Amino acid sequence: MSNRENFSSTFGIIAAAAGSAVGLGNIWRFPYVAGENGGGAFLLIYIFIVLILGIPLLISEMMIGRRAQANVIGSFKKLGPKSSIIIGIIGLLAAFIILSFYSTVGGWTIHYIYASISGEVFKLDYQQYFTNFKDKSFLPLLWQVIFLIMTAIIILGGVKKGIENCSKVLMPLLILMLIILMIRAVTLPGSKSGIDFFIKPDFSKVTGKTFLAAMGQAFFSLSIGMGAMLTYGSYIKKDQNLTFIGFSITIADTLIAILAGFVIFPTLFSFNVAPNQGPGLIFVTLPAIFDQMPWGAGFSTLFFILLLIASLTSSISLLEVIVAVLKEELKWSRTLSTIITTILVMCLGVFTTLSWNTFQNLFITTAQGNCMYIFDICDYFSSNILLPLGGFLIMLYVGWYLKKDVFYEELSAGVNNKFTLSLRSMIFFIVKYIAPLVIILVFLNGLGII
């Protein structure tokens, strides 16, 4: 065997992979996308997509990585055919783009730690405060650089030490915090209509775009379609049960997103804020709840610290995708690979962070008349186009190229219970036929082609 690093235990793998999945996607992105797409109906479609596409793709990615014992490019090189390397290239591109705007929001999170401690976030109108801050140039960039440096430092520590240790402690704390916040949120006056908005589906608002948004959100939130789970899969030993790991991560990730919904929507409605705020949503709602709680500033500080850690365990998985390629394919050292990648991401990151400042004239207007700035374009293009495209190709690859025997072999390794084994045929059938078809339909429908 090679001398690649490995995760040491099932719990360690789940913590690391769930660490990748759980992050800004659940707490920042899910509520804002759900809010823009009608709430309850979006939630149902989201859950459907997570089940039908999320779990099978997550498992497929991990099995490719574990089988090949290599990064996103190396895996396809090893398992062949040559043309499949394109999947790795799409993954690298997605990792770059996502990191660039992910670090913008990671930076906002750091700013909110600072603003909670200083108390300035509670002084003005929350919405005004966020807009003023986001539209600045120096401060958001500074926080973004700090966020990227933190990500790079963890990656320099290597997979086992860095990633696993960090994820293990955080997850339980974050969940506890969200539960406390949810209790406060649902007991706010007027919160009932927020709960209704989130759980009572209104199908009259569902369009092809709702499905596309739900698919993009599911892929983003589960870190699938671009090789993050493939890369982590390559650090998983042969005695581990991939089916179990896949289900655990998906369930944890989805529950946390739903929990975040129960924090954000009741609060929004209680404070009469419109749910379609876009990417600033949590930054204008959460301070409102904290302000209504005893020790609000303390809770706020703690919450944003936890959110920062959750986003770091995700951003490291994005950076690791690229670093693993440079290290293994180009034989660069981990240090050099990390430094070069971080600098490149920062170059693109300047554009996303200054979307509302220096580059405010660069936007496109959607059919609904909304402006999409560089930030929004990166967010939309990577989540709604690149990830589903990558996921589509990965499933075709597993279903039609690697085929059943390989799939069964990988899903049987480390498994000794009959029930899990019996799931293999169903999952394979979904990977081979159903999932690619669903992705095509959602694509064509969402982009207005059918």
Q: Which residue is nearest to ligand PHE, using beta carbons? A: 25
Contact yes or no for 110/142 (Cβ under 8 A)? no
25 binds ligand PHE (CB under 6 A): yes
What's the CA gap between 196 and 356, in Å, rounded? 33
Query: What would the x/- binding string for ligand PHE be over residues 97 to 126, using CB under 6 A?
Result: -x----------------------------
Beta partners for residue 373, in sequence order = 363
Residue 318 or 435: which CB sits closer to ligand PHE? 318
CB of residue 48 to ligand PHE, shortest distance in Å:
19
Residue 12 or 106: which CB sits closer to ligand PHE? 106
Per DSSP, 188 falls in state S
CB of residue 448 to ligand PHE, shortest distance in Å:
26
CB of residue 224 to ligand PHE, shortest distance in Å:
7
Q: Can you tell me which of 73, 182, 228, 431 binds ligand PHE, judged by CB under 6 A?
A: 228
What's the CA gap between 4 and 2, in Å, rounded? 6
CB of residue 418 to ligand PHE, shortest distance in Å:
32
Residue 91 or 414: which CB sits closer to ligand PHE? 91
Q: Can you tell me which of 12, 23, 38, 65 binds ligand PHE, judged by CB under 6 A?
A: 23
Residue 219 or 373: which CB sits closer to ligand PHE? 219
CB of residue 251 to ligand PHE, shortest distance in Å:
15
Residue 220 or 271: which CB sits closer to ligand PHE? 220
Residue 220 or 283: which CB sits closer to ligand PHE? 220
Beta partners for residue 365, in sequence order = 371
Q: Can you tell me which of 24, 64, 171, 213 binds ligand PHE, judged by CB under 6 A?
A: 24
Query: What would the x/- binding string for ligand PHE be over residues 242 to 271, using CB under 6 A?
Result: ------------------------------
CB of residue 126 to ligand PHE, shortest distance in Å:
23
What's the CA gap between 133 and 68, in Å, rounded? 45
Tell me which residues in 185-224 interact with ligand PHE (CB under 6 A).
220-221, 223
Tokens at 143, concatenated: 């926080």
How many binding residues for ligand PHE (CB under 6 A)?
A: 15
What's the CA gap between 192 and 179, in Å, rounded? 17
What's the CA gap between 355 and 349, in Å, rounded? 10
What proportions of the chain, in percent to the nearest 5, are helix, strand and coil? 80, 0, 20
What's the CA gap between 325 and 185, in Å, rounded? 44
SS3 state at 373 = strand
Distance of CA 431 to the CA centre of its chain: 21
Tell me which residues in 311-350 interact with ligand PHE (CB under 6 A).
314, 317-318
CB of residue 319 to ligand PHE, shortest distance in Å:
9
Distance of CA 269 to the CA centre of its chain: 26
CA atoms in the 13 A half-sphere facing the CB of 289: 30
SS3 state at 215 = helix
CB of residue 228 to ligand PHE, shortest distance in Å:
4
Q: Which of these, 2, 14, 64, 8, lies nearest to 395 by C-alpha position?
A: 64
Contact yes or no for 315/100 (Cβ under 8 A)? no
Residues 6+ apart with CB under 8 A from 83: none
Binding site for ligand PHE (CB under 6 A): 20-21, 23-26, 98, 220-221, 223, 226, 228, 314, 317-318
